[in-house]
Every structure is written in C-alpha cells, then in structure tokens.
Amino acid sequence: MVVFLALAVMLGALALLIFYLPLWIELSYRHRNGDDRLTVEVRTIAGLLYYRFEIPVFKITRDRLFPALFIEAELEQGLRGKILRQKTEEITAEDILRAVNWRSIRLARRMIGQYDRVLQYLTRTLSLHDFRWTTRFGLNDPALTGFTAGLLWILKSSIYLRIRDMLRKPGHPRLAVEPYFGGRTLRIDFHCIFASRIGHIIIVGIMLLRALKKGVSINGRTSDSRADEDGDGEH
C-alpha cells in the first residue's frame, strides 16, 4: 500500500511537472524577391522536446493556364536535426476547386463556431516574447513607394494591435518599413516567439478533438442534422 501510494504521488508530481513545463513556438519568415523561407520551431527546456518544420522553397509557378503553388517541406526532430519527413508538393487551381464545394463551405461555417472557443482559450494562455517585422520594398514610381510605405505602417500596426488584444502578454514589437526609391524590390523579415505550457497545448488538442467529433460524424456529415433541414431545406 505504501509503495502504491508513493508511486501515485510520483506519477502525479511528474504529470504536474509536465503540465507546467514551458513551451516555446518560434515562427520565422524571410522573403528576398523571388526566394521564400518559412520556419516553425517548437521546443522546451534543455531540448527535451524539439521539432522544426521548414519550407525552404515556396514559390508560385506560372507554367500553366492557372498559377500553381510549389512547396518543399521537411520536418526535423531533436537538436541534431534528425529529418522525420521530406515532402515536395504542387498545389494547383484544379486541386483547390475540387476541394471547395458547397458541402465543404457549409461544414467550415459550422466548424468556425466550434474552433472559436479553442482559439480563445489558446490565445489566453500565450505570451509574446519577441515580435520583429521588417519590410524593405521599392516600386518604380518613388511617389507611389512613399504612399505605399504609409499604408504598410497602418497595416502592420493594425495587425499587431489585433494580436496584442488577443494574447495574455503581448510583448514589445519592433516594426519597420524601409522604402527603397531606387527601383522594384521586396524584402521581408518576420520573426516572433510565443510561449505557453505543455499542459495548455494538451488541453487545446483535446478541445480540438472534441470540437471535431461534435461537428462531424464518421461518414463526413455534420452531427446536427436538424441544422441541415432548417438552414438548407434538405431532408
């Protein structure tokens, strides 16, 4: 009995430790004219958990009638960079048209309400440790470049204010707009670090599964059949 009680206490303490273990999510995006790179890192103390997702090639090709999005992505685990998966994919307009239909739109509309609660919980548990966003751009017309710089400042400030109002600790942003009057160019450097705890992410995962189970049945139909009958006239 004493051994069982001691084991239960140890397991409870371990579960509590894991729940409050800090977790950092780092997002980085870089654009250099035609070159894009998106990186997502998830890590905790001493590298106990470390995942890195990177899209080194992210470009739009116009070889066809409609443009296509070409993506190369890789997923790494551990500080030594063990590659778990590499993938190359091309997303065309035909793929999007096949995926988007009236049924998928109706389902997405119902699921937005379910996921809104999850998003509210997640943002209340996140704090922002770093937020840097620098844009250097230039157009052929210097006057238009100056006018666009003012619009970019308004856009960036609005986006950050929206993020600040959602998060528990908004942090201090570093925003910069650098107009270039020597011709067409575009450089974007975006970097931010969100902090949370593993327990909160586990709760978010459970909430997502419950929302998905509530919104969609196994055969792909919504679980609330009366909503179909009332909203779309289907019986």
CB 196 within 8 A of CB 127: yes
Q: What is the pLDDT of residue 136?
A: 93
Helices then strands, counting H and E runs in the chain, come out as: 6, 8
What average pLDDT score do residues 59-81 get? 63
Within a domain: 47? yes
Within a domain: 210? no
Q: Name the residue with higher pLDDT: 62 or 122.
A: 122
Residue 25 burial (CB < 10 Å; 0-12/13-18/19+)?
middle
Q: What is the pLDDT of residue 49?
A: 79
Q: What is the pLDDT of residue 218?
A: 38
Within a domain: 70? yes
Structurally, the chain folds into a number of domains equal to 1
Within a domain: 37? yes
Q: What is the pLDDT of residue 38?
A: 86
Q: Which domain holds residue 52?
A: 23-96
Within a domain: 233? no
Range from 42-46, 95-99, 112-116, 220-224 carrying the lowest mean pLDDT:
220-224
Write 111-119 long-range contacts (CB < 8 A, 24+): 111/211, 111/212, 111/215, 111/216, 114/211, 114/212, 114/214, 114/215, 115/208, 115/211, 117/207, 117/211, 118/204, 118/207, 118/208, 118/211
Does 165 score more than 70 pLDDT?
A: yes
pTM across the whole model: 0.69
Q: What is the pLDDT of residue 235?
A: 40
Q: What is the pLDDT of residue 21?
A: 86
Cα separations in angstroms, 88 against 79, 97, 112: 23, 21, 30
* Cβ-based neighbours of 114, under 8 Å, separated by 6 or more: 211, 212, 214, 215
Within a domain: 60? yes
Pairwise CA distance, residues 96 & 15, whole Å: 43
Within a domain: 155? no
Residue 18 burial (CB < 10 Å; 0-12/13-18/19+)?
middle
Q: What is the pLDDT of residue 51?
A: 84
pLDDT band (50, 70, 90) for residue 116: confident
Within a domain: 149? no
What average pLDDT score do residues 63-72 get? 61
pLDDT band (50, 70, 90) for residue 103: low
